Structure 1
Amino acid sequence: MPLFIDAFWLNRIAKYLVYGMLGLAIALSWGYAGILNLGQGLFFGFGAYMAAMSLKLQSYTSLQQGSDKPIPDFMLWNAEPNAPTDLCCINEGSFLWLPFQAQWFGMAMAILAPTLIAYLVGSAIFRLRISGVYVAIITLALVLLTRLLIIDAQPVTNGFNGLTDLGWLTIGGFEFDPYMTQTYYLVAAGMVVVLLATRLLVATRAGLILQSTRDDPNRARYLGYNVAAYQVFFFTVSAAIAGFAGMLYVIAAEFASPTFMDLTFSISMVVWAAVGGRASLLGACIGAILINTIEASVSESEMLQEGWKLIIGFLFVLVVLFMPRGLAGLVNDMLDRIEAMLKPGAARPPATTKTAAATAAEKPGE
């Protein structure tokens, strides 16, 4: 496919693949764990900012500041006249930038920071047995609070303006131009690896137990499972995926912004997963890619330029009312009907009321 499209659309598709990872992360926490996270933008934003801080110090504007150390250009704009051109002396809090001079550190923190934050937040929430809409409210409040903190810390984060004029990711002396096929393949490979890894994870005994905690957490506790531990683990994995997606997005888009932590963006992720099918990892991934492609195409139309959000909202309402399992559920129903037509004499298997927790209990322990 990269051979038949121009550089602009190649870069755009790479971004949509990143959105696919976000839809997958929501499906993992919401569809499989029953945890409605309305603050997934928090982890995506942290991953994006960690990577952007490192790439900012690799950029041309940071290297050409007359100092032996790279300095973000906005720090010089905010510095007092005749201030030393040293990263340690420009602004309070600028010491936070020092470790990001090593590119590997920024890329590692893009995954580790969201993972650690999610572990701490998840431990505080699920060990207190908080569930349902209260989890959504807490995660929503956290992402809004973090966004305000980033905007208020303008001397360190550049506030509303975000981090722009970033350098390119460099591995082994090779630079990843955001508009070249190498960057597209990097993002595509990352999405495939995440998809396969999460698919294998939910197919394990731990994934089966996780679904039992979603269906009936009290029964899972009675069977001896540590429900909170499973919820914290999968909540953390979902955050790590979002952080990894944020890192890849910055590599492709060359900027990081507080808008990543807007409420609308986090809710959009939930919409993507719902349309694609929150109970299907692949369905949620495809739903995110499909919706963003439609949004881009419709918003560029002169006739529909102002009403494309209304169209997407109407599509979401239709899916919720008539396809509660999303596009993935629709496809599965169609495949079942085709199979039934091909095998008219085949008897349907009897329905079972056995829960996932009981099924998991029958399996030998690891």
Structure 2
Amino acid sequence: MASTRRFIIEADGGSRGNPGPAGYGAALRDGDTGELLAEAAEYIGVATNNVAEYRGLIAGLRAARAIDPEATVEVRMDSKLVVEQMSGRWKIKHPDMRPLAAEAQGIFPPGRVRYQWMPRAQNKHADRLANEAMDASQAGRQWVAKPLPQPTATPVLSEPLPEVPAAPVGWGAADLGTPTTLVLLRHGETALTPEKRFSGSGGGDPELSERGRAQADLVAAALAARGTVQAVVSSPLLRCRQTAQATADRLGLEVRIEEGLRETDFGAFEGLTFAEAKERFPVELDAWLASADTAPPGGESFATVAHRVAAARDKLLARYAGRTVLVVSHVTPVKTLVRLALGAPPESMFRMELSAASFSAIQYYADGNASLRLLNDTAHLR
């Protein structure tokens, strides 16, 4: 029976301002030979040192699991806080730390990972990677891992490594590089939202209600805790800009406006409930529901919306290649992006639920394929 493989993770994170522009670095080594097996680093926007350190830990654990999920791991960090909290000796009091600690604890089964503090001077490799990621972002670039040095000796393996065939996106075997991730956020509630009234770009431009502003704050807190968003893009309508600004302020980012992300112009349906539209425009409503090419009186068809949303998507993918972007928009554009990612027909949009201030997420790969990772997540609102 083959012995269990052992890994060493050196992880670190830094924040230039605490909170300020932050990044993490992690180096994965073979526990027996010391051979460098993998490096990871990323700029994570504005965050605290502790958030960045946890993100470095998570990246290192994920890299170890990707190589051998049965391995045992020794994590070495110069953060006394993270080491003591993950060892169970200190309580995790800060709300931003709890979800990160839980994520780290779930990567390997209990008992497989132990933590060791080391002086900062001995953690130079991970510290360098974190600073490289922050420097790259400041220069407008994405950090890219350098080729690893060839091992001085051939590692002894208990058995040959199997050939891994290529697999469709989402099944985990194909290596298509770092995807571009669009985190799709429907704006928070307005006064029209709970009444389920048509509220597009052809009527008024309502602001967030008190509940909507509270939802925007919860969104911002959740994204700050995750520390993954690197840019914020919004529809030009006020309710989206207000929702986006809450997160941008928390992360120290600017809100970039993308006109193509605005909601459908619902024409004569604007401000009406579905029942009211059915009563006043029965023929027109039925025709609109029956065909994506049919527009409400004086409004836009779903086909027209899909065309401009796809153009906006392509602009974002070109501008933010390999990065994670928060996209704040509306029901129709978000559902359209999901539909296009899945290759689903237009009528599929009527079968999707999309709550106010809910997250969906799509990753786009270099070969043109997309993978839906999340739909209508509202856990952050509870």
Category of TM-score, reference length = shorter chain = under 0.3
The alignment's TM-score, normalised by the length of structure 1, stands at 0.25
Higher relative contact order (CA 8 A, sep 6+): 1
Q: More strand by proportion, 1 or 2?
A: 2
- TM-score, normalization: structure 2? 0.24
In terms of fraction of residues, the more helix-rich structure is 1
